[in-house]
Copies of this chain bind each other. A is one copy, B any other.
Amino acid sequence: MKYPAGIQKSNVTSNSRKKKVQYGHRGMTLEKDIDTTNKYYLNTNRAIIHKKPTPITVVNVDYPSRQKAKITEAYYKIPSTSDYNGIYRGKYIDFEVKETRNETRFPFINIHEHQVEHMRKCHEHGGIVFIIMRFHAHDEVFLYPIEKFLIHWDNYKLKNGRKSICYEDVKRDSHIITEKFNPRFDYLQVVDELYFGMR
């Protein structure tokens, strides 16, 4: 899957993965692990959270039979929202999944401005909004509340600040999501603690 310039999906090529592969998630990307986790939540009726389909502009369609339309020309579009949303404990939940191989920082080139502004608005309207962020070099996955992320983003956009967030800043303001067998990344456990005051 190839996106227009400036967008990098969390998917990484199997080549570059090989160096860092861990026991649990050989050949899997974080997005796939989150999809598996969401399926688990759905099956156990804990939450209804789905990944949105990738937005595509369809230019040409063939109809080889009555039943099946074959798209013969189409292009990927820049997403105008985050990839995941749904409902949990009656609340609106919205997040992005991002990973970086950078050891010391999360570069903003990994995330699109439309997505950030969408998440800002959802937060302002009372939603539970965050980024699930993996640092491959440290083999750590964080739940990073959007309001913490926005401090760095606004510093970059409005004050010509750094184009990235230091790993140490992410670590300080985030919450580790521990990897398990099933669900793979139980991020709702962190949501329970952070947003519902549970332990």
Q: Which A residues form the contact surface with B (CB < 8 A)? A: 1-5, 45, 47-48, 50, 52-56, 58, 61, 63, 67-77, 80-81, 85-92, 94, 118, 121-122, 125-127
Contact = CB atoms under 8 A, between A and B. Distances in A.
A50 B80 contact: yes
A79 B76 CA distance: 18
Contact of A70 (B73, B90, B126): B73
Integer count of this chain's copies in the complex: 2
Contacts of A55: 53
A155 to B, nearest CB: 24
A68 B4 contact: yes
Contacts of A48: 118, 121-122, 125
Contacts of A1: 58, 61, 69
A1 to B, nearest CB: 7
Given A50-B80, A91-B92, 6 more contacts: A48-B125, A53-B53, A70-B74, A86-B92, A87-B122, A88-B125
Nearest to A76: B69
Most chain B C-beta atoms within 10 Å of own C-beta, residue among A56, A58, A125: A125
28 contacts: A2-B61, A2-B69, A4-B67, A4-B68, A45-B121, A47-B125, A48-B121, A48-B122, A48-B125, A50-B80, A50-B81, A53-B53, A54-B58, A56-B56, A56-B74, A69-B75, A70-B74, A70-B75, A71-B74, A71-B75, A71-B76, A72-B73, A74-B74, A85-B85, A87-B125, A87-B127, A89-B125, A92-B92
A34 to B, nearest CB: 16
Contacts of A74: 56, 70-71, 74
A64 to B, nearest CB: 11
